Structure 1
Amino acid sequence: MDSDLNRSVRLLDDSMSSQGGRLFKKGLFKAQKAKSLYKDNISNTTLTPEESTYLSDSRDIQFNTSKLINRVDTSRLTDSTYAKLTNFNVTSTGSVIEADQPWKNAVNSLYIEFLEVMQTHMNSQAVLDMVRDLACCCSDTLSVIKTLKSKIAFSQVDTEEDWLENERNTWRLLFALYQDRLGIQSIQTEDEEYNHYYGLSEKLCTINLFKRDNLVRETQLIIDWLESNAAEKYDKMLYFSDSTVGWENTLHQLSSSDTIVFGSSREIVTELHPDAPSQQGKPLHDMDIEDNKRLCYLVFTGIRCGKLAEAQKLCVQCGHAWKAALLDGWKLHHDPTKIPASQDIDEESNEMVIDNVDTQKMEGNENRDLWKRMAFKYCEQIQPNRFEKAAIGVYCGYLKYVLPVCNDWNDYLWGYLKVMIDIRVESEIRDCVQRKYRDLPDHYWDQRMSLNDIFATLDSSNNKDVNIQAHRPEYIIQKHLILDEIPELFRELERYVNEDDVSTQFVRFATHLVLFMDQIGRFHKKDTIEKILEIYIKRLNQMDDAQLVAFYVSKMSPAKQVHLYSTYLEKVVDDSERLDSLKYAENCGLNVDAITKTVVENIRNKPIQMIEPSLQQKLTSDDEYKISAIDWLLFYEQHRSEAIIQSNALISRFLTSGKLDAAQLVFNKIPSDSIDKILAAEEVALDIKQAIKEHLSYKSYLDAQEAFNVWFKHFKSK
């Protein structure tokens, strides 16, 4: 994490630096490859932690693509997939100057950060490392922004911060999806197939489904991604109080009604068991009702964050162990004593054998189908809190009671996907597991939806916030990534970057997204890629950072490279900056010869400013600018011949405009030893020889003019 700390410190330093200084410094930290932080656990709607171990350790679904990426493992279908992306705890110390939104500098530093990542992974086959590091850059910057705002008591979430969070999430989504998709491409080349499982274990049946069905696996990855994002947003929220008994205020009033300080405003239940409120039709103590509402909210939030175990622990801590037990009923059943030796999985070898039957325990709920039917009825009761209904609805697949507590696009997508995968797993179990199950109500099966149906529903949602978000660029991009609609994604990106009010941050994101897709060979329409790149380069031109411009220009076609970079160089006038610009171009593989020639021609062909008719025109700032353009051809000796050719053309223009002094200054730009060095070459082209003759002719003409001026001045002084 040293590189992450250095980057965060630099971001903080840049954000607090002088507003008037250069946006980027020339001394750059180079991004380092982050260490792999994969963990072998799976958290999803259908697998327990123990079941997850089977799936994550199974050799059959470890997809290694060493030639393309470094150990892409699609079996890790969990938020641990994102551990390397989310394990940041950036803190800042010292006083913070209350500048005018200093975090803007931290956001702007992303241009350099992304450049460093691209340079680090430019020749690397581990393409996903680039995506991972881009997500890390966004996460680091977001942490610095939040730290700065906390120091100056600035709580408002601005547009850039909101965008940055969505961008980080999009890079994480890209990482998770293509970790699996690239792995699938590798496994398909090996002609490996998975057959359906037929046996008595719901767990083994589901494991086989995840190995065999790409859609199910990707759907679970998306769920894990949504839960991981929520967990980061609601970090440390699962806190209620110290351990206590359930409904303690009701208990106290029933046991000590004479001594209670705050009695309930209504007649309360006379018994304390989970069904008492519904059986007696009486409420709990007022304070217990509020506590129960808060507990139900926190339990659902924990489930939304993929932290079922923590939510259950909270229930037990608050004296409601029955609530925790209620959330165990969905778990898949597995009885190792009833499984043939050829069908069980040994965790050490990942093979289908049983080594130690006596030590294996029964897992899951044998009456899971009955629990599911009762869960439907439980959700339909009036008494349970809506968050409690939603928590049960998530695991029994009752979408009707999940959506009312969802607030935004991410929540809705999560709810739909949880039910979608629950139905798919339930269907697989009933088709393949050799036992009889109780029928489920028709409304459960009527909830079947495809991914396209889900996104169409979100696009036309009656929830105003969801509907608005569904039409925002970042969510449309995520939708196309999930649906693997890359041509549609590129069309949308091209449309967005051409809008007048598009932010440079969005153009930066779009540029790196299309570069990644191009790198993995997912899109071959170069025109779209170059259009987006060209818009980004034009934005970078305004930042006056040659290193940024040179690198991204190098991603264009050779013809456009020369045009774009020479256009940028036209406004560079400082000699040291000009030399640096050429070095950056050389390092990025640009054609320096063609670029220097083009930039001089572009400047030379600009109209000459005429002040007033006279025999001797005065020198203007535009003239000086044209004269200085010759310097572009004097940094490298191999450009001396081109310098003579361009100076001849410029001298000719000045002479025809009556600007003798300007012509003399152009001639003086050429070093006196240039002709000797050119002629010292083994072969000199005919056009170069002709240019040398023209150069010497101008020398004779200018010398004669100078001699005449000296004579004329002397003559008039008599």
Structure 2
Amino acid sequence: MDQSASMDVDSISTPRVSRFQETSRYTPIYSTPQSFSSDLFVPSIINSSIASLGTSLNDGIYFINDIIQKYAEVYENARSQEDITAVPKTYEQMCDEYSKTLREESSGMFNSDSRGYRIWEAERNTWNVLKLLSQYRFTPIKNIDEARKPFQTDGQLLCELLATNKDFAEAWIVRQWLWKIAPEFVTVETNPEYRSFTKNSILLNLKKRNSEEYKYLDPDGAHRTRRALDSLDQEHEKELARSIFEYLRRGQVDDAMDISNKNGHFWRTASMSGIVLYNEKVDDDIITTIGNINRHIWRATCYHCANQESLYIYDRAIYGVLSGDYENILPVCRTWEDQVWAYYHSLIECQQDEYFSKHVRHMGVNDDDDLPINTKVIPPNEIFEIVESKRIDRDLDIERFHIIQKLIILNDSKELVKRLKEELVDKRLSREDETAYVHFLRLATHLILYLRDLMLPTPDKESDHIIRLYTELLIEYRQNKLIALYASKLPRDISIEIYASFLKDVTASYTERHKLFKLAEQYGLNVIAIARETFELIFKEIESADKHGAVFDVRIIALKELINPIEIIQIRALEWLTFNKEQHREALKLGNTLCRRFLASGKMNVAGKIIMEIKNSKSPLSHIRYEKLEDDEIDTVYVEHQNYYNMIEYYNQYEIWWKTWKSKPKKINSKEMSDWNKSIKEATSSLDTLFHKFLESYVFDFIKETNNMMTDEDEIRIRELERVMDIYIPNAVLRHHKALYETREIIPTNLEKSFNLANTVVEENSDLSMHFVRSKKLQALLMALRDSYLEILKKNPKDISNVLYDEQKFN
């Protein structure tokens, strides 16, 4: 190895670095007492301002909706970037902004609720560790092909270890992460005069006592002589030891040394300076050495000091950090993060020293020197088992995040998804606790989506269930523009079901609903199947024909009667099938089905509304108008639709006729009577034309025109059509008889027409009589024909041959 090359440890981004760095971009960890900036130990995060929160954090649902929208925006925009850490990096920044804002709001005089910002901080930490480990795990490892040099410094060996040992590098990253997320603390108040209170006490008593008794102000004096310092000095040194430990806990060795110097404890600075790795430094082509060449001896000494029971607990913890002895660090650990850090720090120190000892050492003690450090190396999976068994902070909110962080560190995506499912699907986390539930569900969903983007194994059933829960939550919170995005991440059948279920209850304008349809199309959802399912869900709310009771009990609702809101929604369901041209014929077919169902229950007004909407060029349903097929092929869907149109047209004309008939003037010889006679003749003539058009449309039996086997759907359709004809054909015949019979004086030929309706009913090619039998309207028809019969006899008693002939045929 070229000894002029600087050996660096990339402690800012990823430890996967080459052993050969042409330029000194990074400062080695623990490299020099003059360079202990905290930036060396904590990955730098680029600060970017998040858009204004827009709403107060106390606005409840509005704040939740704002967060939901921002997360969707980040996922949609950042996932396509080449940087694998782009998504978790942005999520982390958002969480940091929210946690800071909530911390400020919760710090007010009348607001002491800290739950909100603690949850946001926990999520921020989760995205941070995922970002760091993803960056490392998905960065190609550079090969190290050169032969080992006979002489290597500790710094060079560490770079080699980081570049070749994946587990060690990941542990290094985890420790950096644990350094970064440690909370702020209040450091000791500076007292630059060393043990000033004890010194002043000695000076006051020099004349009274033997001064030799008080010569114990050296750093080890109190411990050596077992003489107590002044109580104020004791308290200050305890606080100083605690502050030094807290700095070391955060990887801030430079700050630990600085606080020692400021308080006159230079010996503490000297004892900590041994942590610097022996390395080479190049300055103006001059190679110099830095660091502790006998670091293993220094570490063993620190280990011995850490196990001195007479020392203060934080002093022992400091030496535990310096030597990597977790046993003496754990007593001062207050949180889950502290404990995990203690074990990981020990793991790194032990593996690092073990690696150094396997290779040729530089100058130092002989190999046979006895330097015992009885610290057991504990692998990561066991670390978390131990920490969880000794958990000291039982915050259930934060504990859920610790589970996620643990499994991210252990790189177990399958178990991670299963644990998320246990919390959300198995109801360990109550839906009633909306704050925690919504927060955790959102996090779980975006974690799963990110893991899927990384092509990591995620159990399909559990993953889909969680994403579905989140999509349903978006529906509940009316985040209409986001539903298609998340539904597209579900399997085809589930995405169809959930999006159709959402669209079913949307009552916005046609334009707005079209936008939702286009969103589904944009995200690759099966829009044709969704539109069909949406209609079916609404359609199921209409009772089948079999549940409408007997035919003869049905009351036909007049076309002019108002339609209730539910029926309007059912009609508008057809509009979902108009957005795609490929579904227009299907829409017409389903429109026929709707007409049959409504007509079967007597709701002629609703069926009429459907028919008129299709005919109205300004209606969305006009898109499904019939288009002529090639070669004049008969389309049964169109034929059925035309039949309903003819029926509605006749009944509508009858209502016009009836209204005209009821408006007959009282004065016989008047202009009003003359105008009325003209109007009633026109209305009756038009009614007669539409009547025959209506009946002729049923002469061709399009239901049974094919010899193919009928499906269950065909059989249902036949039963419904028969019911519709049983209701409306007899009723139409009786109404038409009334119109003809009542106008016999105005239009004399109508009397004979009224009686000849019998021929229409019994004609062999139509045989409409069965509908009168099933509807129990035959008696009513006979009575109507009897009136016509008697009236004919009354007017011309001698000419009865034709009447008798017709009567004989009918019987």
* Paired position in structure 1 for 2:519: 584
Unaligned segments of structure 1, at least 5 residues: 1-49, 64-72, 260-266, 337-344, 348-354
Contact 1:550–1:584 (Cα < 8 Å) also in 2: yes
Match of 2:378 in 1: 449
Q: Following superposition of structure 1 onto structure 2, how do residues 552-701 of structure 1 map, counting pairs within 5 Å?
A: 552-575=486-509, 576-608=511-543, 615-616=555-556, 619-634=563-578, 640-673=584-617, 689-701=635-647
Verify: 1:711 aligned to 2:711, yes or no: no
Q: Residue in 2 aligned with 1:393?
A: 320
* Matching residue's letter, 1:381: Q
Give the one of 167, 171, 176 matched to 2:127.
171
CA contact (8 A) 2:9 2:17 kept: no
Within the candidate set 69, 78, 81, 1:121 is matched to 78
Q: How far is 1:639 from its partner? A: 5.1
Against the structure 1 CA distance between its residues 664 and 56, is the aligned structure 2 distance closer, same or farther, given a 3 Å change threshold?
A: closer
Report the Cα offset of residue 554 of structure 1.
1.4
Residue 276 of structure 1 aligns to which amino acid in structure 2?
G
Which residue is equivalent to 2:90? 133
Which residue of structure 2 lines up, in the alignment, with residue 223 of structure 1? 175
Matching residue within 362, 374, 377 for 2:289:
362
Could you report, residue by residue, the CA deviation over 1:428-458 in whole angstroms, capped at 9, with x for unpaired residues?
111113353575665x345121112212212
* CA deviation profile, 1:219-261 (whole Å, cap 9, x unmatched): 010000011001xx21xx46444562222222233335699xx
- Any residues of structure 2 matched to 1:455-466 within 5 Å, and which? 455-461=384-390, 463-465=391-393
Q: Is residue 2:207 matched to residue 1:207?
A: no
Which is worse superposed, 217-226 or 703-712?
703-712
Q: Is contact 1:202-1:333 (8 Å) kept?
A: yes
1:269 Cα deviation from its structure 2 partner: 4.6
Give a deviation string over 1:103-134, Cα, whole Å, max 9, x none. 77445422111111111124333332112112
C-alpha distance in 1, partners of 2:441/2:603? 45
User: 1:509–1:55: structure 2 CA closer, same or farther, 3 Å change rule?
Assistant: closer
Distance of 2:147 and 2:168 partners within structure 1? 15
Per-residue deviation at 1:694? 2.1
SS of alignment partner, residue 222 of structure 1: helix
My pick for the range that moved more, 507-516 or 149-158, is 149-158
Show the 5 A alignment for 1:411-426: 411-426=338-353
Matched, 1:249 2:197: yes
Separation in structure 1 between the aligned mates of residue 590 and residue 136 of structure 2, nearest angstrom: 56
3-state secondary structure, aligned to 2:378: coil
> Following the alignment from structure 2 to structure 1, what is the Cα–Cα distance between the partners of residues 276 and 64?
44
Q: CA deviation at 1:627?
A: 1.8
Q: Which moved more, 1:510-519 or 1:489-498?
A: 489-498
Stretch moving more, 517-526 or 629-638: 629-638
**Matches of 2:584 and 2:44 in 1, distance apart?**
53
CA 1:588–1:91: 2 relative to 1, 3 Å:
closer
* CA distance, structure 1, for counterparts of residue 213 and residue 662 of structure 2: 121
Q: Who is 1:539 aligned against?
A: 473
1-structure distance, mates of 2:639, 2:218: 108
2:137 pairs with 1:181: yes
* Alpha carbons 1:238, 1:302 under 8 Å: kept: no
Deviation at 1:636, TM superposition (A): 6.1
Give 3-state SS (helix, strand or coil) of 2:506's partner.
Answer: coil
Query: Does the aligned pair in 2 maintain the 1:459–1:470 contact within 8 Å?
Result: no
Q: What letter matches 2:69 in structure 1?
A: I
Identity of aligned residues (%): 22
Cα offset, 1:138, TM superposition: 1.5
Moved more, 658-667 or 197-206: 197-206
CA contact (8 A) 2:163 2:169 kept: yes
Which consecutive unaligned segments of at least 5 residues does structure 2 have?
Answer: 1-5, 20-25, 31-37, 432-436, 665-811
Q: Which of 328, 332, 341 does residue 273 from structure 2 map onto?
A: 328
The CA deviation at 1:213 is 0.7
Alpha-carbon distance in structure 2 between the residues aligned to 1:220 and 1:582:
49
CA contact (8 A) 1:269 1:276 kept: no
Q: Contact between 2:626 and 2:638, CA under 8 Å: does it hold in 1? A: no
Q: Which moved more, 1:216-225 or 1:115-124?
A: 115-124
Contact in 1 for aligned 2:318/2:329 (Cα 8 Å): yes
1:585/1:406 CA distance change after superposition, 3 Å: same
Deviation at residue 416 of structure 1 after TM alignment: 0.4
Given that 1:91 and 1:147 are in contact with CA atoms closer than 8 Å, whether structure 2 keeps it comes out as: no
Match of 2:690 in 1: none
Change over 3 Å in CA distance of 1:701–1:164 after alignment to 2: same
**Structure 1 pair 55/162, CA: closer, same or farther in 2 (3 Å)?**
closer
Q: Any idea what the Cα deviations from partners look like across 1:34-80, whole Å, max 9, x if unmatched? A: xxxxxxxxxxxxxxxx97557779998269xxxxxxxxx9x999976
Distance (Å, rounded) in 1 between the aligned partners of 2:18 and 2:143: 14
Please tell me the residue identity of whatever aligns with 1:623. E
1:162 aligns to what?
A: 118
Conserved in 2, the CA contact under 8 Å of 1:373 and 1:440?
no
CA contact (8 A) 1:603 1:629 kept: yes
Which residue matches 1:496?
A: 423
1:228–1:593 distance in 2 versus 1, CA, 3 Å: same
Contact 1:177–1:221 (CA under 8 A) maintained in structure 2: yes
* Structure with larger Rg: 2
What do residues 591-616 of structure 1 show as CA deviations (whole Å, max 9, x unaligned)?
33332232122101223499997503
TM-score w.r.t. structure 2 length?
Answer: 0.69
Q: For the residues of structure 1 that align with 2:597 and 2:304, how far apart are their CA atoms? A: 91
User: Which stretch of structure 1 is more off in the superposition, 288-297 or 582-591?
Assistant: 582-591
- 1:322 counterpart letter in structure 2: W
CA pair 497-315 structure 1, distance change in 2 beyond 3 A: same
Give 1:571 deviation, angstroms: 1.0
Contact 2:488 2:523 in 1 (8 A): yes
CA offset at residue 481 of structure 1?
A: 1.5
Q: Which has the higher contact order (CA 8 A, sep 6+)?
A: 1
Match of 1:14 in 2: none
**RMSD of Structure 2 on Structure 1 (CA):** 3.8
Alignment partners' CA distance in 2, 1:302 and 1:611? 80
Secondary structure of 1:362 counterpart: strand
1:477 aligns with 2:425: no
Aligned partners of 1:136 and 1:686: how far apart in 2? 64
Give the stretch that moved more between structures: 375-384 or 297-306: 375-384
TM-superposed deviation, 1:293: 1.4
C-alpha spacing 1:55/1:167, structure 2 compared with 1 (3 Å): closer
Deviation at 1:402, TM superposition (A): 0.3
**Structure-2 separation of matches of 1:81 and 1:561:** 46
Shift of 1:361: 2.8
The answer for the alignment partner of 1:319 in structure 2 is: 264
Q: Which amino acid aligns with 1:598?
A: E
Q: Given residue 535 of structure 1, which amino acid in structure 2 is its aligned partner? A: L
State yes or no: 1:548 paired with 2:482: yes
Take 2:336 and 2:415, find their aligned partners in 1: how far apart are those partners? 20
Give per-residue Cα distances to partners, 1:501-543, cap 9 Å, x unaligned: 2512212111111111111111164333322211211121101
CA distance in structure 1 between the aligned counterparts of 2:14 and 2:416, rounded to whole angstroms = 34
* Structure 1 match to 2:23: none
5 Å-filtered alignment, 1:103-114, equals 105-114=62-71
Query: Which one of the candidate residues 349, 367, 377 is aligned to 2:304?
Result: 377
Q: Distance in 1 between matches of 2:356 and 2:143?
A: 26
User: Of the candidates 301, 318, 330, which is equivalent to residue 403 of structure 1?
Assistant: 330
